[in-house]
Chain A
Amino acid sequence: MRRLSFQCAHRYPGGFALEARFETMLGVTAIVGPSGSGKTSILETIAGLLRPRFGAIEFGEQKWLDTRRGIYKKPEQRRVGLVFQDHLLFPHLNVERNLRYGRGRRASSNSIEPRRVIEVLELGDLLERYPRNLSGGEKQRVALGRALLSDPEILLLDEPLAALDETLKDRILTYLERVVAEWHLPTLYVSHSAREVRRVAEQVIVLEQGRVVQQGAPADVLPADYSSL
């Protein structure tokens, strides 16, 4: 597994300050914390969508950001698969073309096979449909498939289950577990739910007001009676 090292200091126009620093040897690492604690900002900074004033991000041997040395890799140069909370599927493309969007754009080995992604996420029956005709759970599966097919080296999942009801959450978590088992992709998983975190994560990072306040195994970090964070 590769090491992700992240540090960043950024003050937003509204006054919120993100001053987080952590390192993880990734399997699935969950980032938890109350709303507005900076979880999404961390994912967007790793993906290159936010450019902090100060910061450094290293993933394996690659330097994606080092503000002191003026290094900033653009989002398209980073090989991340980011799944947004609100899926952000392209509404003018059908499922198949959404899935294919990131395919072959990056110079890579294309180790993730489209056929296998469609199988694992059970997308076969949806290929011709447009996002507006998909249910919430289907949209998230397509978004996950689209991220996988861009051949990422790391998956960033921003509360992918937040908008779904409990039964659907369970089903999508099963898909997620299949994905992790199949491709062994390092994954950062932002969540509000202690139950989800216990189920999928090996590591937990706890954020409060833009700072990392705890890091460790789920059993050590999450009190047994916590259900939501």
Chain B
Amino acid sequence: MQLTSEEWSALRLSFQVGLSAVLASLPIAIVVGYLLARWNSRGRWLLEMVVNLPLVLPPVVTGYLLLVMFAPRGPLGGFLEERLGVRIVFTWLGAAIAAAVMSFPLMVRAIRLAFQAVDPRLELAARTLGASRAHAFLSVALPLARRGVLAGCVLGFARSLGEFGATMMVAGNIVGETQTVALAIFSDSNRPGAEMQVARLVVISILLAAVALLASEWLEWRQTSRETA
């Protein structure tokens, strides 16, 4: 299967956007997932609602809100451009932010479930052995929840690869700059005579998703087999 340079660049961008989105949101997703699993106060439902909002909002609306925020004269975009010289809108960074926001609820959900499965008394045991709260989290809760964290990353990455609506709003659909595989499929499917290109990109999308899932399975298997050895 011979890919054109445009298709290669869409593929490279998809990876770049997906990985950046997952890596950037992972620390926050871990903290939020842990809080949602352990926190019993009234503020929990509010946090849960904010986290899940992108899941129920039309992606175009999420994209629009991000566009307003990160536009060169927007509250965050202005600051980033003036102080740091970083432009978000219509760049791959915009696509990564859109993907991060859209995949965040899925990551948090997987991570929260993993922390809920960890007995909180194990952390108390760690504290009676001299560990601070933070250390008990890092040395007990997080390693025990790692499969869920990993599953969250895979889900987030797969969701990022498929992100379309919000990305289109924030990053546009610029070949070689912001056109990911999903956007390329959209463009090519509107172009008469590009059926083969579309078919190639569709096959690539399916393969990528399958490889991501296999990789996570393999990592899980490796960790489990070490523990039982």
Given A92-B143, A130-B228, verify A84-B121 contact (CB < 8 Å): yes
Contact A47 B128 (CB under 8 A): yes
- A132 in the interface (beta carbon within 8 A): yes
Contact in complex: B127, A74 (CB < 8 Å): yes
- Residues of chain B lying within 8 A (CB to CB) of residue A49: 124, 127-128
Interface residues as binary, B96-127 with A (CB distance below 8 Å gives 1, 0 otherwise): 00000000000000000000000101101111
Q: Once the chains are docked, how many angstroms separate the CA of A87 from the CA of B209?
A: 41
User: Are B129 and A146 neighbours in the complex by a CB distance under 8 Å?
Assistant: yes
| Chain B stretch 130-147: residues in CB contact (< 8 A) with chain A | 130-133, 139-140, 143-144
CB nearest neighbor in B for A133:
B228
Contacts of B129 in A (CB 8 A): 76, 101-102, 105, 146-147, 150
Contacts of B143 in A (CB 8 A): 92
Interface size class of A (residues with CB under 8 A): 20 to 34
Interface size band for B? 10 to 19
Do A88 and B132 touch (CB < 8 A)? Answer: no
* Complex: A189 Cα to B133 Cα, angstroms: 26
Which of B127, B132, B140, B228 is in CB contact (< 8 Å) with A90? B140
Choose from A82, A92, A106 the contact partner of B125 (Cβ within 8 Å). A82
Chain B CB within 8 A of A216 CB:
no
Main SS of the interface on chain B? helix
The residue on B at minimum CB distance from A107 is B130
Q: Are A88 and B144 in contact (CB under 8 A)?
A: no
Nearest CB of chain B from residue A146's CB, rounded to whole Å: 7
Q: Is the CB of A75 within 8 A of B128?
A: yes
Once bound together, how far apart are the Cα atoms of A11 and B3, in whole Å? 70
The answer to whether B228 and A150 have CB atoms under 8 Å apart is: no
Complex CA–CA separation, A78 to B132 (angstroms): 12
Complex contact B124–A75 (CB within 8 A): yes
Name the A residues within 8 Å of B140 (CB-CB). Answer: 90, 92
Instruction: List chain A residues, Cβ under 8 A from B139.
Output: 101
- From 97 to 117 in chain A, residues with beta carbon under 8 angstroms from any chain B beta carbon are 101-102, 105-106
CA distance A78 to B129 in the complex (A): 9
Question: Does the CB pair A132–B228 fall under 8 Å?
Answer: yes
Q: A90-B140, A130-B228, A132-B228 are in contact. Are A76 and B122 (CB under 8 A)?
A: no
CB within 8 Å for A90 and B130 given contacts A130-B227, A130-B228: no
Q: Residues of B at under 8 Å CB distance from A?
A: 119, 121-122, 124-133, 139-140, 143-144, 227-228
Residue positions of A touching B, CB distance < 8 A: 47-49, 74-76, 78-82, 84, 88, 90-92, 101-102, 105-106, 130, 132-133, 146-147, 150
Would you list 12 pairs from A and B whose C-beta atoms are within 8 A, ordered by A residue?
A: A74-B132, A74-B133, A75-B128, A76-B129, A76-B131, A81-B128, A82-B125, A84-B125, A88-B121, A92-B143, A101-B129, A102-B131
Across the A-B interface, give the 10 residue pairs with the lowest CB-CB distance, nearest first: A102-B129, A105-B130, A75-B127, A88-B125, A82-B128, A150-B129, A106-B130, A76-B130, A92-B143, A102-B130
